Structure 1
Amino acid sequence: MAIEKAKDEVFYMERLAVHPDSRHKGYGRNLIDFVVEYAKQNGGKKVSIGIINENEKLKNWYKKYGFKETGLKKFEHMSFTVCFMEKVLL
């Protein structure tokens, strides 16, 4: 996982991954919580991600944690569409 400050109040969460053998144990949620807290402590108002749009299971998992779809983009060098999502920090 990586965190990148994109703009003054927006942080990107990138490359979040949990090994298949370790899924469904709360590690992904812990990573999201870490990113959200880090962003808040550093003046962030939003966390933004880009995921594979066709992965409905993953998209729904992020929605469960408060992320909302903000756009779609098809890149020529990728075989999938990217779904951009944001979570507004309270």
Structure 2
Amino acid sequence: MAFVVTSPCDGCKYTDCVTVCPCDCFREGDTMLYIDPELCIDCGACEPECPVDAIYYEDSVPKEWHEYIQINEEMAAKLPVIVERKSPLAE
């Protein structure tokens, strides 16, 4: 199991979560972030840092966003690691 970034991140891409991740499991896409489920240690440090409530433990992802479990896995395999805070896309 792992934490998952879901729909509310898409279009804003706040990066507060990446600075608290102890295992550098966040990946940066053009419009949102993703979590590599192979590296996530389920610590939960990222979840309260997200200002748009986009991060959920895999078992708690709302039904309407279940596809993001697979999306995170697929995108994390292709995208670069992000470990530093950047300006969000939307304020």
**Which TM-score band applies after superposition, normalised by the shorter structure?**
under 0.3
Q: With the length of structure 1 as denominator, give the TM-score of the two structures.
A: 0.26
Higher strand share: 1
Flag the structure with larger Rg. 1
